[in-house]
Amino acid sequence: MEATGSQASDAFRSQTASSSATACRGQQFEFGDFLGQVRQKLLSPDSESYRQRQPSSQTLRIDVKRDHGVSVTNRRSCMSLGHMSVSASFPGITGLRQRFAYRWNQVVLRPGDTSSRDLLDDFEDDEPTISAVRIDTTTPSYSISVPMALVSRPDLGSFMHVLNAWTSTAMKSLAGVAGGVPLMQALQALGNPAGGLGMADLPLKLGGVGSIGGFLEESEKSLATHVGLFSLTSAVMFIGSIRGLNKHSTAREGNYMGMVATALGIISVLASPGFHGAHLRFLLTFLAAGGVGYGVATNVKMEDMPQLVAGFHSFVGLAAVFAGFASYFNPANPYSAMKAIETAVGIAIGSLTFTGSVVAAAKLHELIPGKPIILDNRWLLNGLAVGTSALLSGMFLNPAIFASSGGTAILLANTALWGFLGVNMVIPIGGADMPVVVSLLNAFSGLATSAAGFMLSNDLLTISGALIASSGTLLSDIMCRGINRSMYNVLLGGFGVDSGSASAAAAAPGRTRQDVREVSAVGFVGMLFAAKKVVIVPGYGLAVARCQQKLAEIVALLRKHNVIVHFAIHPVAGRMPGHMNVLLAEADIPYDIVKEMEDINADMSSYDVGIVVGANDIVNPATQDDPTSPIYGMPAIEIWKCKQCVVLKRSMGTGYSGVDNPLFYLENVKMLFGDAKQSMDNIHSCLEDSQDRLAAGSAANFSADQAAGGENAEPETFPEASKVIGVLRERAPGEARVSLAPSAVVKLRRMGFSLLLEAGAGSAAGFQDEDYTKHGGVQVAESAVEVLKQADIVFKVSEPLLNEVQLLQGTQTMVGFWNMYGTQELLDALQQSSASVVNLALVPRVSRAQKLDALTSMANIAGYRAVLDAFNRFPRFSRAGSTAFGSVPPAKVFVIGAGVAGLSAIATAHSLGCKVYANDVRDAAREQVESMGAEFIAVDAQGIAGEGAGGYATVMGEDFTRRQLATYARVVPDMDVIITTAMIPNRAAPELLTAEMIDTMKKGSVIVDLAAQTGGNCVYTEQDKTVVSPNGITVIGETNYPSMMAAQASEMLGSNFTALLEVLGGGSNFGGEHWDDPIVKPAVVAQGGRVVWDPNPPRPPAPAPAPDASGVGGFGGASPTPVPPPEEANEIIKWIQEHKDELAMGVGAATILGLGIAVDIPEAELTHMGYFVLSCLIGHFTVAGVTPALHTPLISVTNAISGIIVVGGMLQLSGPLISARVGCALAAVFLSSVNIVGGFAVTARMLEMFREDTKPKSVQDKTPGSRASSSHA
């Protein structure tokens, strides 16, 4: 028979105060009923069990088992509770079983405690402060077997007393083990149980330390030693991580060391005493945040790196705020004035860092205007905020307020005040001063981390924060020196005005575009032909235009023909320290041809051509020879010392300083006006078309023996082909292009490809089969079927035909170029094929993908040909002129849509002498249109934007569309030629020219609809047809203008297709992980038997539109000029600047002396202060050695290191999940984990871009000398 039940008796309590100062209380397990049942039903001669027993089964077995246990501990107490089962049986006979509940309490006594009983009562009456909760799922047990032959019937009563004592003690020992207490210590603490059997008589003895308190104390001491070692190692490795960035060759190792150091810091908390209950919380939060950080780091564009860094700074600041609140909500932290001060200061710095970083990121991303925004009574507001904060902090130091809900309210108010100060600190600073701001915020994030270290008494946070603070401070000083301004002047804000300001005009009265010497792209290329040494000065305009990739290709062409090319980098050329170096590295420019300003200025006169791209103030001669200039004394790159200089600019606008640049008017300087990207495309095309001339110019500069050696050079050897490329003949009506021109064959063979060409594939474009086969490695197939069966990769110009798709195999890849609108039948067919199909028209518009951007290549041709076709049909002159008949006005051309095709049409029409007008729903296009000499026609829709995500046009609302059509109805009647290019990705083209509008146009006018392929913008458009409206307007719906320039278009397409193969790994490493490349993945239409194309891909956020001139509240229009400080204040500031070193030493000494006299600072706080000061010094000397080219990776890696503030959140994770403390701790862990993973990932990504020049040094060394000797001869 088996009996079950539950019993928890408190009839008996025992407590002791042992010599080790430990008080314990446990519930006795009263077994009267259970053991009475054992005696009655198992041992009594009258029981059925007694009669059933055989001689061999005369042994009674007692089992005590703990079913489950939960322990709750802190530094002074331990409580264990759960359930246990006790069973009694004879072999082969059904026994008895009963279940009991238990609770075990222990409190360590300290001097001054009145009695152990009071402490135990307090423990039960009050909720204990929990530092750790542990659930033990093991089921330990004890058992005893007693031969009944040894127990005579008269002794049965005494035996039951012994059995009761043993069972009770076994249960108590198991309860103690659940709380981490060995059996012998549990027995010693509990003392003798009721029933009278002494401990020495029990058959259970185990070893251990002398007491529970001693056991826990020794364990914590041992573990704390290892934890401290981890923290110290982590801090030292952080120093090594920054040290690794001193040079390119060790930068990657430095980043890896930072990762290991951060891991050690986290492990030091995971392994610390009392953290065992929070592992799952931490790991889940860290993994989720890490995924977010890694995703952001791997997808951010390098042009947007300053915004990312500022955003990560804000995460550190907010994490510091949450960590501070979590620490404040921790009831285990007793009040002290020092802790209260540290909490208030730490949260204040974190709040300022957070809001200041958010504003900086918004300014950099143009969500807030980049110009200075100065609030009325700015300094009064700042003073009131600081004064109110001081008052609130004083109230917070009151112990009664600190411990009440009023303390929370004060902290929240103080957080809001310092958040306002962060906004008001950054918002008055202009966009060009952002390098200083980003560096300064880097320092603030370090201070926030150190403040958390003081607040939580954590040396690792104090040390790492100090390193980051010193790094940010030093970089801020470098940036200030780079612009010859003090930190005070930068923080004052309001420096400079916009390029169209009155100050700019006053700086150069009477000077206009007619006063400078202009040069065309062809003329500029002619200058490069004769150059031996070229230096390029990039500015932030290069990043804005995103043309660094095309610039890198130009540099590669020049260096290929032995032209020495160097880049000169100014410290403030980008929007953060070292930003320009990262952009050039992304374009695959070797870092050893990129020189710092101070290294190259001395040799500037030796360069034949200097090129300025997107820079202004940093190349202004007024910095050195005009004492009246606001930027006088600012270090500048002395580009004017070159023999010739070409400046690429949109217009004559000034730089951030608002002063005119005398460089533009010098005798040796020429201006190349226009959009930088468009100009780069034109220069690159001219250079490629004239490579023979460039090579001839290069060869003429070599000595005779070098030339003779070139004649005897052996033919080039190519690697063995790993893949076969098939080139099909195009079968679409009117298609004359071919996917690969003969000029690309050599490059493909170098990449490990051979070619299989369908016979006559290039004949329509003017290329014969022999033009391909003469390069070797090319076979000619008689049919498309043969190509499709044998080729690994198939190239096509247009979309795949359905019968071609059916022939494709799973291992093949087909690459084409087509519009995805209206291709559902093709998509259905692709689902039945397992081949990979790529559409180059879907390549994202990012700088790294420029080489693959076939859409831009073809749109450029389309815009050019559209204008020529229009004037071929237009019955009047395009340009103005005077004849015997009289004067002839220029034709008026209206271009709708200022994308690539639109801009090309504008440039062509302008070159024909037309009066050009243009419109685009995107406000960002205005400046591009005006820079090319056209007049921008704005839609008559005040306050309505037409900007889509990522700068793309978007589907407009009814109100905007109505006003847009009204604007066109007003403009169209005066136009002679209209070019429409308005298309929306993957949608039908919007109808913009109605029948009513066309009826108002002059007879003979021409409309060219470049959107005809997706339905057209004109009501009369018919695809691939030319129609005439009832009133005599010619409407052209041609969809394939590039085919009219088949040879040129094929060259461009072949270059795009070849670039795709480079990204996909070349012949030997084709495909695989390269399919996941972010510039390839969006272009994959089908793969593995399914369509993977996303018709609505995510776009990067669009920049905010330019503010209207009538802005309100400081957020639009011209920025108010800051009120200059009074003369007395200027004198004081001047004196402080002259004596700043002495003042710093005096204030520092007075502060230390005052604190030592007036405040009783705990020894631990002095230790932290020492760590902080020493770490600042070490950080300063470590960061000072970092090469300027790696300043952006330095900021990002210190950003990741600042994520070590995760430790502050981890230390607060224990406790109830639904609580303010744990909620704040989880938020701190999440934000800082995003920083850790994102920071290190983006640093690794940047460092992978930096490469050393692979061109032999001997070639570079010989080139100048050989040219010099040739010139001398």
At position 672, the amino acid (one-letter code) is L
Residue 102 is predicted with a pLDDT of 76
18: closest CA among 174, 212, 182, 219?
212
As a whole number, mean pLDDT of residues 836-846 equals 87
CB under 8 Å to 151, separation ≥6 — which residues? 159
Please check the confidence at residue 209 and state whether its pLDDT lies above 90.
Answer: no
Please check the confidence at residue 1140 and state whether its pLDDT lies above 70.
Answer: no
Residue 34 is predicted with a pLDDT of 77
Model confidence over 11-67: pLDDT tens digits? 223 332 233 334 444 444 455 677 778 877 777 777 777 767 665 557 788 888 888
Contact 920, 984 (CB under 8 A): no
Alpha helices in 365-433 (DSSP H): 378-396, 399-402, 405-426
Model confidence over 315-327: pLDDT tens digits? 888 888 998 888 8
Residue 1158 is predicted with a pLDDT of 56
Per the model's pLDDT, the better-predicted residue between 479 and 759 turns out to be 759
Q: How many CB atoms lie within 10 A of CB 843?
A: 25
Residue 994 is predicted with a pLDDT of 93
Rounded CA gap, 950 and 299, in Å?
14
Contact 256, 1188 (CB under 8 A): no
Please check the confidence at residue 1047 and state whether its pLDDT lies above 60.
Answer: yes
Rounded CA gap, 608 and 1090, in Å?
56
Confidence band (pLDDT; 50, 70, 90) for 205?
Answer: very low
Confidence band (pLDDT; 50, 70, 90) for 1037?
Answer: very high
As a whole number, mean pLDDT of residues 577-603 equals 80
Write out the two tokens for 72: 């709750």
As a whole number, mean pLDDT of residues 1017-1036 equals 93
User: What value does the CA radius of gyration of the chain take, rounded to a whole number of Å?
Assistant: 40
Strand positions, DSSP E, 449-558: 533-538
CB under 8 Å to 1145, separation ≥6 — which residues? none
Residue 997 is predicted with a pLDDT of 94
Residue 27 is predicted with a pLDDT of 44
Confidence band (pLDDT; 50, 70, 90) for 214?
Answer: very low
Residue 176 is predicted with a pLDDT of 63
Residue 498 is predicted with a pLDDT of 39
Contact 430, 496 (CB under 8 A): yes
Please check the confidence at residue 502 and state whether its pLDDT lies above 50.
Answer: no
Per the model's pLDDT, the better-predicted residue between 71 and 809 turns out to be 809
| Angle between the N-to-C axes of helices 212-244 and 183-190, in degrees from 0 to 180, rounded to the nearest 10 | 130
pLDDT above 90 covers a percentage of the chain that reads 15
Residue 218 is predicted with a pLDDT of 44
Among the residue ranges 263-272, 398-407, 493-502, 934-943, the one predicted with the least confidence is 493-502
Please check the confidence at residue 1004 and state whether its pLDDT lies above 80.
Answer: yes
Model confidence over 893-927: pLDDT tens digits? 999 998 888 988 998 998 888 999 999 887 767 87
Confidence band (pLDDT; 50, 70, 90) for 486?
Answer: low
Please check the confidence at residue 402 and state whether its pLDDT lies above 90.
Answer: no
Rounded CA gap, 630 and 623, in Å?
8
Per the model's pLDDT, the better-predicted residue between 1241 and 1183 turns out to be 1241
Contact 587, 554 (CB under 8 A): no
Residue 950 is predicted with a pLDDT of 40
Average predicted confidence (pLDDT) for the chain: 76
As a whole number, mean pLDDT of residues 116-145 equals 62
Confidence band (pLDDT; 50, 70, 90) for 892?
Answer: very high
Please check the confidence at residue 200 and state whether its pLDDT lies above 60.
Answer: no
Per the model's pLDDT, the better-predicted residue between 474 and 736 turns out to be 736
3-state SS string for 159-192: HHHHHHHHHHHHHHHHHHHHCCCCHHHHHHHHCC
CB under 8 Å to 209, separation ≥6 — which residues? 182, 185, 215, 218
Strand order in the sheet with 1090-1091: 778-781, 753-758, 723-727, 793-795, 813-816, 836-839, 1084-1087, 1090-1091
Residue 192 is predicted with a pLDDT of 37
Among the residue ranges 398-402, 755-759, 780-784, 891-895, the one predicted with the least confidence is 398-402
Please check the confidence at residue 222 and state whether its pLDDT lies above 60.
Answer: no
Model confidence over 671-697: pLDDT tens digits? 888 777 788 888 888 777 666 555 555
CA 705 to each of CA 700, 857, 1003, 1266, 1269: distance values in angstroms, whole numbers, following the listed order? 12, 42, 68, 10, 12
Model confidence over 225-283: pLDDT tens digits? 555 676 778 778 888 888 887 777 788 888 888 898 888 888 877 877 656 567 788 88
Residue 1084 is predicted with a pLDDT of 93
Handedness of CA 346, 348, 351, 355 (dihedral sign): negative
Assessment of whether the complete model's pTM goes beyond 0.75: no
Among the residue ranges 401-410, 465-474, 499-508, the one predicted with the least confidence is 499-508
Residue 707 is predicted with a pLDDT of 41
Contact 575, 1240 (CB under 8 A): no
Please check the confidence at residue 725 and state whether its pLDDT lies above 90.
Answer: yes
What phi and psi values does residue 25 have, to the nearest 5 degrees? -140, 135
Please check the confidence at residue 793 and state whether its pLDDT lies above 90.
Answer: yes
Rounded CA gap, 1111 and 1145, in Å?
46
Confidence band (pLDDT; 50, 70, 90) for 197?
Answer: very low
Q: Catalytic residues, which ones?
A: 617
Confidence band (pLDDT; 50, 70, 90) for 210?
Answer: very low
Model confidence over 1209-1223: pLDDT tens digits? 888 887 777 888 888
Residue 844 is predicted with a pLDDT of 84
Residue 815 is predicted with a pLDDT of 94
Confidence band (pLDDT; 50, 70, 90) for 108?
Answer: low
What phi and psi values does residue 1072 have, to the nearest 5 degrees? 60, -130
Please check the confidence at residue 194 and state whether its pLDDT lies above 70.
Answer: no
Please check the confidence at residue 133 and state whether its pLDDT lies above 90.
Answer: no
Contact 638, 648 (CB under 8 A): no
The DSSP string of 976-1020 is SEEEE----TTSPPP--B-HHHHHTSPTT-EEEETTGGGT-SBTT
Among the residue ranges 270-284, 702-716, 1229-1243, the one predicted with the least confidence is 702-716
Rounded CA gap, 855 and 864, in Å?
14
Residue 796 is predicted with a pLDDT of 92
As a whole number, mean pLDDT of residues 620-629 equals 77
Please check the confidence at residue 1111 and state whether its pLDDT lies above 80.
Answer: no
Residue 29 is predicted with a pLDDT of 45
Rounded CA gap, 386 and 475, in Å?
27
Residue 980 is predicted with a pLDDT of 95
